[in-house]
Structure 1
Amino acid sequence: MKQARLSRRTFLRGTGVSLALPFLEAMVPLSARAAAAQTIPRRFIAINIPLGFLSENFFPEKAGVGYDPSPYLKIGGTLQDQFTVFSGVSHPGVDGGHETQKSFLTAAHHPAARSFRNSVSVDQVIAKAIGAETRFSSITLGEHSLAVSENGVVVPRIGMPGTAYRRLFMSGTPQEIASREADLRDGRSVMDLVMEEAKTIERHASAADREKLDQYFTAVRETEQRLEKAGAWEKTPKPQVDEKPPGKFEAEDVVAAYRSYFDVMRLAIQTDSTRVLTLGGTAIGTVPKIEGVAQGYHTLSHHGKNPDRLKQLEIVERATMKVFFDFLTQLRGFREGESNLLERTQVLLGSNLGNASGHQTNNLPLLLAGGGYKHGQHLGFDTKNNYPLSNLFITMMQRAGVQKDSFGGHSGTMRGLEMV
């Protein structure tokens, strides 16, 4: 009996509900099962924890394969062969304390300077290459945005997990959809008008003004592309999920916040709503809602080697690592053909600060999980003359299918990191 074949975009329909199916083996013929992994998309996730981690608890003592995990990495348990940890890596030329979160995914120099001008972030380079295949080319979440467009403008973040859930999975009434379509049409006509006027001005502009106008044109084109894409997806049913939207939580409940963000991120890639996600973590000054913690998180990060503050800070960081490893476990548990979600998703966890207590920006704590690499190792570089983080970004871009061999002023891929 000949087996029926399902389309990758097959929907289950009934009583007004449309359900998008995840990747199934029946979506490829039996003869092509061995190559099914080639049809499963690759994804990119980057997470920044802006107050970093205590280095003695994060970095293993020895480099190489089969290293003894550090106290924080032990929390990952059986996941050790699913990630690579890096030491001696940073962005040369990126200084300025907390302001360096602006450059975490861009490598743009001197973010604290008054004349600072940011550059495109690695997630947006990837989104430009593969984003047209999903409803959302990329999604940036959290307390600060890591995403920066080609013209150096920060991509607006979604600050609450519940808001992200509604945008991903909830549709409006027919009247609301019609209203959004009208807004899109009006938006396009406005863009057309603006472009014509701007081009007229350009003919009489100086060289400096033309440079500014070029940046402006780029922004307009990006807006226009987003509008066109939104119009095309407006009539496509959103995927339905069984899980309820994230509930409300106090801002101080750091664990609940991260767990909710991670749940939304998992659902977003599980339903193929997007393949590029970034999360800017918390640096709250108030007291985290975690047992054993009695001082503000930001205050604890400036511990000054105070034993009590170090103890409390470790509690916060352990809780953060625990919820992160739970996220990786969930990704590993979701099967896709002969693979799983973690094997097809590059997940970068790191920080823009190597030592938050002294606002130091060298030797950043970094961990790359999943993505189909040969993991289970600690790649240790010179902790004083650091290896450029941009080289890791180049490797990740190439793994996502972007043919680039330079980024952030550096060329070449990450030494020692090999693909399976």
Structure 2
Amino acid sequence: MGLALPSLEAMQPALASSEVVAPAPKRMLAVCNNLGLLPDKFFPDQAGFDYELSPYLSSLAEYRRRLTVCSGTSHPGVDGSHASDVSFLTAAPHPGSGGFRNSISLDQVVAGHVGRLTRFPSLTLGVNVKAGRRSLSWTDGGVLIPCEDSASSVYAQLFLRGSQKELEEQSRRLKLGHSIMDVLRDQAHSFQRRLNAADRIRMDQYTTAVRDVERRLTELQQWEKKPKPKPSTTAPVDPADPSQYVEKTRLMYQMSRLAFETDSTRAITLLLDSNNSPTLSLDGANITDGYHNLSHHGRSEVKLRQLQAIDTAHMDLLAELLSDLSRVSEPTGTLLDNTMVLYGSNMGDANKHTTDNLPVLLAGGGFRHGQHMAFNRQNNYPLSNLFVSMLQQFGIETDTFRSATGAMRGL
């Protein structure tokens, strides 16, 4: 005869360890402020884990062990001054040249691998962006994906379901799209035998694109049948004026967090078009000139003080975002633990229009954080290496992305 011990609390960890907890999905938010930050206020003086926080990074002091600062990085061949923001996530060279053609952006590579798992393969957001003119997101054919610059519209896409009549109309449009794709595919097949080798390559690319659209239409039809998630907050009210840049940015950060929290998407880009922003309305600061004019400060103390106030507001907004992400618990860690937040700029120094020594930081996402990774400021390290590391965190087996020479060392 034997006796069994009663269930004791001391036994729970051993019992629980046999249960397999599915890891939370990885996500990515990539933010580009296209007028950058004052370099001497952003970059730390020391490298490694024991660096002293710079004035700007002091806003992020609570998260220093959960982020990595990079200096001495850029995209080789990416010049073009203000035109270079379109290459921030693509690394396509010479964006200001007449024959420039962009390439696929980092987020769209991610969307191609995990986008089918969510209602939206990716979200492309912007603040004060000229419609159809600027974007961080580009297809594999180098086509711009327009930015959505209304937080209320993003909220509606994520959470609001239309009336029965609107749903039926959407279903009809999706079916019509399928019919058009069928016709295009049939026409392409009829041409195939009359084409030379070069045209066959182009036609293969075309039919591949058609198949991708067909697949996406099928996925959309399936998602239309599923209820949208319930939001944890009410709908935002869009600021009426571009001068309310800070509030517009805050709302886009909130929409990004909601999208990740509800697993509506796993890849988001946000272009902060500072170059296209007017004189900002900023609490506690007297901003008297347009953002772009301030960036050309010429070492004017008056302009530098105003620009530093704006840059500090950016860092405070980023700290607020990291705080919001860290408060959301998931089966494995927090939302911040599972989200890569890339913040940077295409401009190393907007006053001089330089595109090297870019201000870059990466927070969250499961990396070995807490350090300032200082690379050569005369011979910059490829920023695309960081992109390779981010792709690998998604489980994508690759060691290349445009100008990359491999994954970033030390992460």
Residue 176, structure 1, aligned to residue 170, structure 2: no
- Highest CA radius of gyration, 1 or 2? 2
Q: Which amino acid aligns with 1:83?
A: L
Residue 318, structure 1, aligned to residue 312, structure 2: yes
Local SS of the residue matching 2:299: coil
Aligned to 1:140: 124
The counterpart of 1:196, out of the listed 183, 186, 189, is 186
Asked if structure 2 preserves the Cα contact closer than 8 Å seen for 1:63 and 1:380, the reply is yes
Residue 303, structure 1, aligned to residue 297, structure 2: yes
The counterpart of 1:230, out of the listed 217, 220, 224, is 220
Local SS of the residue matching 1:172: coil
Query: Separation in 1 of the partners of 2:267 and 2:176?
Result: 28
Aligned to 1:376: 370
Local SS of the residue matching 1:48: strand
Query: Separation in 2 of the partners of 1:375 and 1:294?
Result: 38
Q: Which amino acid aligns with 1:264?
A: M
- When normalised by structure 1's length, the TM-score is 0.89
Query: Separation in 1 of the partners of 2:18 and 2:306?
Result: 53
The counterpart of 2:78, out of the listed 84, 94, 109, is 94
Q: Which amino acid aligns with 2:114?
A: I
Residue 399, structure 1, aligned to residue 389, structure 2: no
Displacement, 1:209? 4.3
Aligned to 2:7: none
Asked if structure 2 preserves the Cα contact closer than 8 Å seen for 1:292 and 1:315, the reply is no
Displacement, 1:211? 4.7
Aligned to 2:279: 287
- When normalised by structure 2's length, the TM-score is 0.91
| CA 1:122–1:196: 2 relative to 1, 3 Å | same
1:108-187 matched pairs, under 5 angstroms: 108-142=92-126, 143=129, 144-187=134-177
Displacement, 1:198? 2.9
Q: RMSD in angstroms over aligned alpha carbons? A: 1.6
Aligned to 1:331: 325
Residue 256, structure 1, aligned to residue 239, structure 2: no
Displacement, 1:182? 1.1
Aligned to 2:10: none
Displacement, 1:377? 0.5
Asked if structure 2 preserves the Cα contact closer than 8 Å seen for 1:62 and 1:378, the reply is yes
Over residues 350-402 of structure 1, what are the superposed CA-to-partner deviations in whole Å (9 max), with x where a residue is unaligned? 00111111111000000000001111100000011000011100000000111
Asked if structure 2 preserves the Cα contact closer than 8 Å seen for 1:285 and 1:299, the reply is no
Over residues 135-185 of structure 1, what are the superposed CA-to-partner deviations in whole Å (9 max), with x where a residue is unaligned? 111111002421111111122321211111100110011221111111101
Q: Which amino acid aligns with 2:92?
A: A
The counterpart of 2:337, out of the listed 339, 343, 348, is 343
Asked if structure 1 preserves the Cα contact closer than 8 Å seen for 2:60 and 2:319, the reply is yes
Local SS of the residue matching 2:351: helix
Query: Separation in 1 of the partners of 2:194 and 2:97?
Result: 32
Residue 266, structure 1, aligned to residue 253, structure 2: no
Aligned to 1:84: 68
Unaligned runs of 5+ in 1: 1-28
Q: Which amino acid aligns with 1:195?
A: R
The counterpart of 2:43, out of the listed 49, 59, 72, is 59
Asked if structure 1 preserves the Cα contact closer than 8 Å seen for 2:242 and 2:277, the reply is no
Sequence identity (%)? 43
Query: Separation in 1 of the partners of 2:91 and 2:403?
Result: 8
Asked if structure 1 preserves the Cα contact closer than 8 Å seen for 2:375 and 2:381, the reply is yes
Query: Separation in 2 of the partners of 1:109 and 1:209?
Result: 27
Aligned to 1:389: 383
Displacement, 1:127? 1.1
Local SS of the residue matching 2:361: strand
| CA 1:159–1:218: 2 relative to 1, 3 Å | farther
| CA 1:343–1:366: 2 relative to 1, 3 Å | same
Query: Separation in 2 of the partners of 1:154 and 1:223?
Result: 16
| CA 1:202–1:52: 2 relative to 1, 3 Å | farther
| CA 1:52–1:224: 2 relative to 1, 3 Å | same
Deviates more, 1:379-388 or 1:148-157: 148-157
